[in-house]
Amino acid sequence: MHHSKIESAVRRLIADGTVIPAHPLALNADRTLDATHQRALTRYYIDAGAGGLAVGVHTTQFAIRDVGLYRPVLELAAETAVGWTKRPLALVAGLAGPTGQAVAEAEVARGIGYHAGLLSLAAMKSASEHEIISHCEAVAREIPLVGFYLQPAVGGVILSAEFWRRFAMIDNVIAIKVAPFNRYRTLDVLRGVAAAGGLDRIALYTGNDDHILLDLTLPFDLRDKGVTTRAYFKGGLLGHWSVWTASAIKQFEMCKAARGKAAVPADLLALDARVTDCNSAFFDVANNFRGCIAGCHEILRRQGLMEGIWCLDPAEGLSPGQMHEIDRVCNEHADLSDDDFVTDNLQKWLA
């Protein structure tokens, strides 16, 4: 599937930039799929105004592949979305594993109706950059790609600006999620895409949950041979946006409105720090992100969008002290939540 085959409204949505939450996995106490709450989450993101859904990604738990849930979870999200809204919605499927597995997952996602694949490179740690490019090219022959610079703390591979230049030269790449949680490596991606002449055809999406609002607001000036090229992140594909999503969309619109202006409002600059403070608790920064998935689950549990915080791995949960941090940010930044929106709509989503 070539990106030219994506319906035009969805292609424009991705290119212009939108809010794409990374979809969590709702489980029952016995760690089987909770279809009722899984559907409710999908409906929540759509009604909040999200422009897309990323399913089968890190926030969905890569372990869904080990328990036979990859196809069922992708199908449930796609079927729920089609039945819930008629507006354009970008469906992005997480792709993982060595080349054979990633290609097979791309075929599954394409068959279900997903528009693009977010390609995790965590399985390629021992490969050279040349081998990783060959891997990406093979998957891109099956489905349009969203590149993924995953932070090393949760399994990502450190990649050079030259890698990202070569990646951006792949014709079927439509976007890149930049999520190294590192300013230097973020710039490597932008420099690589600019060197490939890809800034006009590849949409940059922030995945830097520690720097969301400034990534979405500030210009990036890239210099090459005395020539300056200005780039912007167009949208975000974020695990952090799996919670308090209705508020995140309002923040996204504020960032878009501030782009290109002579001055960025001081309140928006300050809000970036508050969002980062919330993320520090949800993502368990104090424990090197060990409880990042369970932390998001806890917010959704409090709102009634999940029954519990169970993960597929029984050993995965909140870290010591993380609940205290979540309590703190929920109290100090209560105005950033969307609790009222969820309360007003929860029974409809669970129906």
Give, for 117, the enclosing helix (H) or strand (E): strand 116-119
pLDDT in tens, the chain (351 residues): 899 999 999 999 999 999 999 999 999 999 999 999 999 999 999 999 999 999 999 999 999 999 999 999 999 999 999 999 999 999 999 999 999 999 999 999 999 999 999 999 999 989 999 999 999 999 999 999 999 998 887 788 899 999 999 999 999 999 999 999 999 999 999 999 999 999 999 999 999 999 999 999 999 999 888 889 999 999 999 999 999 999 999 999 999 999 989 899 999 999 999 999 999 999 999 999 999 999 999 999 999 999 999 999 999 999 999 999 999 999 999 999 999 999 999 999 999
Q: Yes or no: say if 234 and 289 are a contact pair by the CB < 8 Å rule.
A: no
Q: Supply the pTM of this predicted model.
A: 0.96
Give residue for tokens 């740690």.
Answer: 125
Nearest to 120 by CA among 93, 152, 92, 97: 97
CB neighbours of 227 closer than 8 A, spacing ≥ 6?
none
Q: Yes or no: say if 281 and 287 are a contact pair by the CB < 8 Å rule.
A: no
pLDDT of 243 reads 98
pLDDT of 154 reads 79
pLDDT of 55 reads 98
pLDDT of 260 reads 85
pLDDT of 218 reads 95
Q: Yes or no: say if 28 and 307 are a contact pair by the CB < 8 Å rule.
A: yes
